[in-house]
Every structure is written in C-alpha cells, then in structure tokens.
Amino acid sequence: MQIYVDTANINHIRHCAELGFISGVTTNPSLLAKEDPSVDIRQRILEIYDLIGGHLSVEVNSTDTNGMIAEADEILSWFPNATIKIPMIPEGLSAVRKLSNKGIPTNVTLIFSANQAIAAANAGATYVSVFMGRLDDISFDSVGVLQDICEIWDVQDYESLIIAASVRNPLHIIESARAGADIATVPYNVIIQSLKHPLTDAGLNAFLKDYQKMTELKSSLNK
Ligand code: G3P
C-alpha cells in the first residue's frame, strides 16, 4: 500500500518529500483554505507539484458537469500530470466519464459506501477515495465499509485504485493496508505519529550510549 500525504502545507510536503516513502499528495479546498485563504491556488499547486513530483490530486469546486470539465482543463493547463478530484455526485460521475474517455485521471472523493464506490468505478474513476474518519465520526464502521469495497474489487476485478482517505490515526493506516487499499492518504501529523515507537527511541539511546562508551575507552587507551 502506498502512502500519500493529505495536506496543502508546503513545509510538511517538503519534509514528506525528504522522507523517501511518500509517493503523492492529495489536496482539497478545505486543506488549501486552512493554510492561507488568500493564496493563489495555481501557484500553491505548482509549488506542491515541484516538491513532490509524484501523484497530485487537485479538486474542482464546481457542482455542474461542464463547470467541472472546464476546471479540469484549467488544472491540466497548469501541469499535465494532474489527477482531477471530483465529488461523488451524479454530475461528478458524468464528468468522470467524460474525462476518463479522454484518458484524464480522476479521483472520486467523498465516497462513504460500497454503492458509491461501484458507481465511481463504472464511470471510469482512476481512484476512489473512501472516507474513514468521517464515517467513524457518525459511529459507522469505516473499516467494515473499506473491507466491503476491497472484497468487491477482488470479486469484480475493478481497475480503479482504492484510496483510504479521511485517515485520522495510525491504526487507520494499518486497517487500510489489511483491508487491501492501494493507497492511504494521511495527514502529516499522523504520518509522523505512525513512525514513532518508544522502544525504537529507547533502543537508539542505548546504542548511542554504548558507542560513546567505546569511543571514550579507545581514546583513553590511546593516551
Ligand atoms: O482525503 C480527505 C480528507 O482530506 C478528509 O479528511 O479529516 O477532513 O475528514 P477529514
């Protein structure tokens, strides 16, 4: 399972690019607005693309099919490798079909059920983004929904890649991988949290102390 970072924060994306195991970035209008509501969106998206160089999903803000297609054309004029993020509404599915017919990659967002995922796959979505945290927020078992979708994908051989989105904690990453998601898009703080383990820190401290002892002993013997 690949890991993307779900953010529009330049410093966090820069750090993720250095980490070496993050292969893409997903953004949405809320993430862009959180950083700097006055930012020029084109400029920010291009800054992000320069840093990550891999997958970058950029969301449209229209709710009608033609508006979505026009926005997709504009985003693609900024950089041709863009994946166009489209909301899971009927007008969005029509846009996905039209973009898919032209070979343009799409990421259908705001998917909360297997029915929605099936519709998006049949419309030709390249990616289907299944939201976990927001389902958990309403006491609905997000892992169960993701497992259902992964199971259906195996049975039906759908080609759309499954993204676990709205990830809120490291356990969501493990559950997504276990279910069979292709990608988890994860907020920066959760990525960092997921790398930590107290035994790693304790073990490294012990190694460093022992190495220090050895170098001190060697230097005292050489005197
Ligand atoms: O990838 C979708 C994500 O940005 C939504 O996350 O935490 O706002 O539900 P959240």
pLDDT digits (tens, 9 = 90+) for 100-137: 999 999 999 999 999 999 999 999 999 999 999 999 99
Write the residue with the smallest CA distance to atom 8 of ligand 1: 166
Locate the DSSP E strands across the chain. Answer: 2-6, 22-26, 55-59, 83-87, 106-111, 127-131, 161-165, 183-186
In the reported structure, the alpha carbon of residue 12 is separated from the centroid of ligand 1 by a whole-number distance in angstroms of 16
Residue 182 pLDDT:
98
Write the residue with the smallest CA distance to atom 7 of ligand 1: 166
Per-residue model confidence as pLDDT tens digits over 149-203: 999 999 999 999 999 999 999 999 999 999 999 999 999 999 999 999 999 999 9
Mutate to test the pocket of ligand 1, among 27, 30, 110, 172 (most ligand atoms within 8 A of CB): 30
Residue 222 pLDDT:
85
Question: Residue 117 has which token pair?
Answer: 């995922």
Residue 36 pLDDT:
82
Write the residue with the smallest CA distance to atom 4 of ligand 1: 166
Phi and psi (nearest 5°) for 110? Answer: 65, 45
As a whole number of angstroms, the distance between CA 118 and CA 120 comes to 5
In the reported structure, the alpha carbon of residue 153 is separated from the centroid of ligand 1 by a whole-number distance in angstroms of 23
Question: Residue 56 has which token pair?
Answer: 């970058």
Spatial contact of 112 and 89, defined as CB atoms under 8 Å apart: no
Per-residue model confidence as pLDDT tens digits over 69-99: 999 999 999 999 999 999 999 999 999 999 9
Per-residue model confidence as pLDDT tens digits over 18-69: 999 999 999 999 999 999 888 899 999 999 999 988 999 999 999 999 999 9
The CA R_g of the chain, rounded to the nearest whole Å, is 21
Assess whether pLDDT exceeds 90 at residue 1.
Answer: yes
Assess whether pLDDT exceeds 90 at residue 223.
Answer: no
